[in-house]
């Protein structure tokens, strides 16, 4: 039986007694020996908190569980090593159960294979979440008091400033660049053009990365640049940054020296708002392939954009619908290239019509779900590995004179027979799965074709996404379509 162990420490817990990675590993290993389980496979998370599930080794373990269905065990020393949020704990355990794994807490004495264990799990999860919310509330109240009653800095500095002795001080070299950025913005240069100029001069962000339009916009919208310190402006939820209502912000004026004038700052905000209104792209429904097209040169998405031109000869304005590389448009990290919307969309529709009428041929498939989850390739391979392990145990028993040569021969013949059956099933499963995926894709293409060519662009966009995973395009000509299986 597979045992996946998950030790975790956050940065603040490194020195806590009982929470170190070494102690967690020792406790888990001892528990597994006492239970007579196989040696655990460790997924060690160093320096990540339990506030959310965005942790690299947790993600790796979840993918391994999906690829290697149980029976199996997921073990931690304590429940809070897994998460401090009840909803995350319950979701993780639902995921474990889906793939045949039970969860065990080594020091809290329960496992989810029993009703009592599931009840205790929910109760402890509620306590862990309550404790986290209480700690967060105390920290928030403390930070609010610090911000309102002193000029101490409780956040990282933005570009243009350094924090020295908990005070926000102007970084002379960076401040000159910020002033130049503000001048460009007032002159009418957009965030993308500003990012392009900075990158061309080899100037890096505070984190040492290349500039792109979002970073430029966010910097020039920060009240920090006019000497104000704003706390409680945003919060994180499900890996997203949410802006609170302005009435909840805590603003300290004259907190530190400004870099740009307040009038210039307000002028920049008006310009940005105007650009957002005038330059807003036409709704995504106009572009059937937004999010699907990928630039082969830089790997960025290619999204729809409308450009205008005026024909003096015809005395009229012309509209040009295109898919433009985001690497060029937003990050200034790719060269200017595009593909005309109508041409690429017509070509994709033709490919779908061919698929519906002639079948898959040599189309490349991306299989998002196994054809038969209960008897898929991964499970067959796991069964083969299990037979090999059993045979190895028989050999070990024979070498230790625990079984006779006759018993070993019988076991070997049985294993050989079972292996032959599973190997045949594995080969058939691979071939059948490919054929089934191709047949199902053709059926779905036939079903979707009516909506795709109906003229209703919203319906067409939705149906195309059911058939296509991605489209990589090179120089506006060469296409590589990855179809959903």
Active-site amino acid positions: 10
**What does each C-alpha distance from 88 to 105, 133, 214, 238 come to in angstroms?**
16, 14, 31, 11
* CB neighbour burial string for 41-58, b if at least 16 within 10 angstroms, e if fewer: ebbebeebbbeebebebb
Name the maximum alpha-carbon separation found in the chain.
99
End-to-end CA, the chain: 31
Please enumerate in sequence order all residues whose Cβ is within 8 A of that of 54, keeping only pairs 6 or more positions apart, or say none: 239
Q: 2 pairs with which residues across the strands? A: 72
Backbone φ and ψ of 271, nearest 5°: -65, -45
């Amino acid at each position: 039986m597979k045992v996946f162990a998950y030790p975790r420490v956050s940065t603040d817990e490194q020195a806590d007694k009982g929470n170190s990675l070494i102690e967690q590993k020792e406790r888990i290993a001892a528990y597994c020996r006492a239970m007579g389980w196989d040696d655990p496979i460790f997924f060690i998370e160093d320096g990540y908190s339990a506030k959310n599930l965005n942790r690299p080794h947790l993600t790796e373990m979840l993918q391994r569980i999906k690829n290697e269905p149980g029976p199996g065990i997921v073990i931690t020393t304590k429940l809070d090593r897994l998460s401090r949020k009840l909803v995350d704990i319950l979701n993780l355990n639902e995921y474990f159960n889906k793939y045949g794994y039970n969860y065990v807490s080594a020091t809290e004495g329960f496992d989810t294979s029993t009703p009592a264990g599931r009840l205790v799990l929910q109760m402890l999860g509620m306590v862990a979440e309550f404790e986290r919310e209480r700690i967060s509330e105390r920290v928030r109240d403390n930070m609010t008091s610090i911000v309102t009653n002193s000029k101490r800095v409780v956040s990282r500095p933005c570009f243009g400033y350094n924090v020295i002795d908990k005070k926000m001080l102007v970084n002379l070299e960076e401040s000159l660049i910020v002033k130049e950025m503000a001048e460009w913005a007032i002159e009418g240069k957009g965030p993308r053009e500003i990012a392009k100029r900075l990158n061309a001069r080899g100037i890096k962000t505070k984190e040492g990365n290349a500039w792109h339009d979002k970073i430029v916009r966010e910097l020039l919208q920060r009240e920090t640049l006019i000497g104000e310190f704003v706390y409680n402006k945003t919060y994180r939820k499900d890996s997203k940054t949410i802006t609170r209502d302005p009435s909840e912000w805590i603003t300290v004026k004259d907190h530190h020296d400004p870099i740009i004038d307040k009038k210039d700052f307000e002028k920049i905000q008006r310009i940005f708002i105007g650009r957002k209104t005038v330059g807003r792209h036409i709704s995504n429904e106009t572009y059937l392939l937004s999010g699907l097209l990928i630039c082969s040169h830089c790997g960025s998405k290619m999204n729809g954009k409308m450009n205008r031109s005026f024909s003096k000869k015809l005395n009229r304005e012309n509209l040009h619908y295109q898919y433009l590389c985001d690497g060029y448009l937003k990050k200034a990290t790719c060269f200017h290239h595009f593909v005309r919307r109508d041409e690429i969309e017509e070509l994709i529709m033709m490919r779908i019509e061919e698929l519906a009428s002639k079948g898959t041929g040599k189309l490349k498939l991306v299989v998002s779900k196994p054809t038969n989850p209960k008897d898929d390739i991964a499970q067959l391979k796991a069964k083969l590995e299990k037979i090999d392990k059993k045979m190895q145990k028989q050999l070990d028993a024979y070498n230790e004179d625990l079984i006779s040569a006759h018993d070993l021969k019988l076991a070997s013949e049985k294993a050989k027979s079972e292996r032959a059956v599973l190997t045949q099933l594995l080969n058939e499963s691979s071939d059948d799965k490919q054929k089934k995926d191709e047949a199902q894709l053709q059926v779905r293409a036939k079903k979707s074709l009516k909506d795709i060519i109906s003229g209703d662009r919203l319906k067409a966009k939705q149906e195309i996404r059911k058939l296509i995973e991605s489209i990589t395009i090179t120089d506006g000509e060469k296409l590589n379509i990855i179809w959903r299986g």
